[in-house]
Structure 1
Amino acid sequence: MPNAQIAGLRNVLVHDYLGIDLETVWAVLVDKLLELKIVAGGMRSHVGRGTTPEG
């Protein structure tokens, strides 16, 4: 799950919360949760070091 997709999902959840289809959100979580956890772990390791996962 690329960072742009993660940011896009976050933007929908934050800014369009009244129009969210909960079944779609659930399907994304079920399908992508492990991948999201891996990406988030990589991002977390860069926090405080002033770097990004890409370099």
Structure 2
Amino acid sequence: MIFGADYYPEQWTRKDWEEDISIMKEMGLSSVRLAEFAWAMMEPKEGKYDFSFLIIF
């Protein structure tokens, strides 16, 4: 069975991300949908892409 959640990193501080990831692991999540609304973080300037914040996930 797939057990998952949605996560919106752009709504939290980077400090919160590590704790949230730890909680997700403790809960046994097998799937996380994330960053679907975080395009401004992935393309801070038109034509300039930065996906580095996704590495933590």
The normalised TM-score by structure 2 is 0.31
Q: Which has the higher helix share?
A: 1
Determine which structure has greater relative contact order: mean sequence separation of CA pairs < 8 Å that are 6+ residues apart, divided by chain length.
Answer: 2
The normalised TM-score by structure 1 is 0.31
